[in-house]
Structure 1
Amino acid sequence: MVPYIFVAAAVLAVIPILILYKIHSSKLKEDPSLRDKVQTKFMIGIAISEAIPIILIVYGFINLEPVQTISALFIPFLIVLFLMAYAVFFILVNKRIDVTPESEETVNAFAMVSLPLSMSMPLIALVSLFLMMP
C-alpha cells in the first residue's frame, strides 16, 4: 500500500500545477505585460498546493520498506510515468494554443519554468519506488 502513497503525492502535486498553469498561461496570452504578477501568483499557488504532497512523501518515507515482489511496483511506476508524460504533453501543447506573436516569448518562458515544477514530485515518487525494490 505504501507505493500508492507516493503515487497519490505525485497526482496531488501535478494536477493542481497543471490547473494553475492553464489559468495563468491564459492570462499571459491575453496580456504579456503581467508577467511578474502572474508568475508570483503562480509560485504562491504551487507552494500552497505542494503542502499535502510533501506530507504524503514524508509519511511514505517513514513507512518505507521493500516490497515482496517487484511486480507490486509495476502499476505505481506506470501511473507515475503516465502522469509525467501527460504533464509534459499538456504544458507543451497548451503553450502553442491561442498564442499571439507578442505573447509567444513570455508564454514559452512560463512553460519552461512550469515543466520542472510539474516534474519534481513525480521524480521524487519514482526515486521512492526504486528504493522499495527488493
Structure 2
Amino acid sequence: MVTLLLDSAQLEVVLSRVEHTLAFRKRNVLIDRVAIDKVQLTDDAWTWLRGVPGPGTHLPGTIAIGAWKHAGARDFVLIRRHRPGVVIDLTGHDEFERIILTTRHGLALVQALRLDVAAQAADVADIATGTTSIPPEPEEERR
C-alpha cells in the first residue's frame, strides 16, 4: 500500500523497497502542492492508464507501476488489481503530467489538500481524520 505524506509545501508518494524496484525508481515521487491542478477519485484506476511503460512494470489486470510514456509526456502510476484509486492531474511539474494510484486513502487525500497543514509531513489519513494536530501559528507571525 502506498503511503501519502503531505505538508504545507508538497505531497510525497512514499514507495516501499519493492515498489522502488518495480518502478525502476530510486526516489519517492515529490509533488509541489502548487503543481496539483485536479484530484479525482476513481473506482477503477486502470481506466486512466495511458501509454506504455517507460520504465515500469506491467502485468495486465494485476500491477502497473512506474513511469508511463504517452504523446511526449509521462505519468507516474502505481495500480494494483481493480481497486479504487485517485488521479492527480499536475500543471508545471518537471517530471509528470499525472499521478495515478490505487489507494484506500483517496478521500482522505482530497480532504487533506483542502486544509492548511503543518510544515512537517504527515500521513494524509491522519490529517483528514484529525489525529495529526495542526500547530497554531506563533503569535508574532499572526500580526
TM-score scaled by structure 2?
0.23
Quick one: higher RCO (CA 8 Å, sep 6+), 1 or 2?
1
TM-score scaled by structure 1?
0.24
**Hey, which of these two has a bigger chunk of strand by percent?**
2
Greater Rg, structure 1 or structure 2?
1
